[in-house]
Structure 1
Amino acid sequence: MRNNTENNGDIRKNKPKIYSNLGLKLLSVVLGFLVWLLVLNIDDSAVTKTISNIPVTLVNTDAITSQNQLFTITSGDTVDVVIKGRKSVISNLDASDFKATADMSKISITNAVPIAVTANSNSIAKKISITVVDNVLSVELEAEKSVSVPVKVVTTGEVASGYTAGNSVAAPNLITVKGPSSVVSSIDRAEVTVDIKDAKDDITTNCTPSFVTSDGEKVSDETLTYDEVSIAVTVPVYKTKNIPIKIAVIGEPADGYAVSQITFVPETIDIGGDAAVIKDIQQLEINDVDVSGCTEDVETTLDVSKYLPDGVVVTKESAYVNVKVAIEKMVTRNIAIKTSDIKLNNKQSDYRYELVIKENSVAIKGMSSAVSKITAKSFHLAIDASELSYGENTITLDIPDGSSYTVQGSCTVTVKVTSTGQ
């Protein structure tokens, strides 16, 4: 027995120190773990965070469009949320981690649609709560309208010197556009723009149309749809040629009136076309300016393209000609003729010549501006003395009409021929 007791004493004496005060040591570990948990919970406590401008995706839009209605978002196309969760979970979250949807089939009678926001990750969704700041998307509803509008080609820049652009062709030249009635009703036309700067050859290209009002204002609306997304455009480019303009009138002015002058600007135009077509065109003739029954000047602006053959165009600078036809009243004036106004040609040296005018005036009729400038010298009256016989010679001088007057009557002259020896 003694030996066993001694052995047990030896065992206790040889026990490692790690096992000494084991209870206290275990208690220290537990307390340390609890402190660590406490610190961890304090550092990773529950917090809130606001995330702004999450884009709202629309779903079930056919619930509205299938009834021939369109909608415009007036508010709520983005949404803000307040999220709550552990700091370690929400600290790095942003708008891209969330999805916001508005179900258009749930639209209310006030045109409000509820917005739902969810986290993209299911694991994150379980660890946070989401509160939508303003969970309503508001829209305006409007009837859909469809119209066909013409396509207009707009050119920018200038073709190369010595060339001109012809009439542009768009295919198709009509397109159908659909959209909200208030927007579509304001559309006057579709426009496509082509740059023709320094061009010497025909231009063929495809263009995307834009829509404008009658005042030229651009109509921009994402809800607009149209049947032709690309318009084929051809702009012909021609070599030019400069030709003079000739203008004539038709009809007669009122009695007692006449055309005194025709003036027009420009006096030449630049035409363009196929070389084989324009090579024989030497001038542009305009002969339909009507002065029938007129007592006053006639002024008009003419579209030059109306007088050109098919396949020939005119430059923008020469597209119109301004014409003025001066109309004047006709007047009659008597012109006195003296013997000094008559020239005697081919006189013989051995004869003496004496002129006596029996009718010493003639009447002329014409426009006042022209008649007022006429004198007897203007008639250039002359008698050939070599054809006169000895004695008295009675001669009637026919006075020709002038370009701006007519002569009424004649001048009768007696020429007495005697010898110088008498």
Structure 2
Amino acid sequence: MSLQWRDNSLKIIAVLLAVLLWVYVTNEQNPVTNQIYSIPLTLQDEPAGYVVNGVPRMVSIRVKAPRSIISTLGKEDFRARLSLFGITAGDQELAVQVTAPPGVDVLQVIPETVRVQADKIVNKNVPVVAHLKGNPAEGLQPGAAVLKPPVVAVQGPSKVLEKINQLGVTVDVTGATDTLEREVVVETGIEGVTANPGRVTVTVPVTALPARDLPVRIRLTGEPAAGYVVSGISAQPSSVQVVARENVLHNLIAVSTMAVDITGITSNVEREVVLILPDGAVSVRPDRVQIKVQITRLETGQPQDDGEGADNPTQ
């Protein structure tokens, strides 16, 4: 009995030594090693009618395997997935699932979980507003733009659409001489938000600016020589036509000349003077007038040249 036990013990010891020797040789010749890979993260089970944000493009994994296996692997041998099955609107944390080849243990996934934001895709009707760029040809003005259709349907995440109340398009009217009609693209400017239809037709009427006759105001600076006074001021023509938008014309009462210096003069002044274009006006016709400034000596009370009656001075 003791001989049999001794034989069995020797066999067990021999097996253990063989196993230890195999482990030793394996670890020496083909040691287990760690490796880190950066692999793309793909989505699966994406629900229709939802948009999901916050998903990283890549994840990092640390794996363990014998050197003989590791040396044959690349990042394309691993798969990282994020299942969106059963997802609802709002923030939620999902686990990253990694698949590795046989004989490879996944030690770590960075990140192990991903916090995503899901939002339902909805539709909303919003008006389109036209913004005009530039100015038509001189003497013309653009009218109110007419859009067809005036309303478009936008599609996108519900939280984003809550902030969209209208969309704008731009039409360039620079140099236009007649009514413009343009087909323009409706751009939302927000990724994931689209407009339907994607184009609208914009019609911009171009009409003549209103005109109004306004009196000429002669601007004088300085004073005549001692003993002389201004006894009359006149302009020819006495009124000119101003072209401007209605709101500009409404606030105008006269058109002024460039300043005429009469410092130290002793005789009448006659000259051509340029008119100042009022702020906001497009044109003044004519753009200059002939003025006459009458000068009188106080001692005689008579004009210094032709003796004509003086106009009431206007400054």
Which is helix-richer, 1 or 2?
Answer: 1
**More relative contact order, 1 or 2 (CA 8 Å, 6+ apart):** 2
TM-score by length of 2: 0.47
- The structure number with the bigger radius of gyration is 1
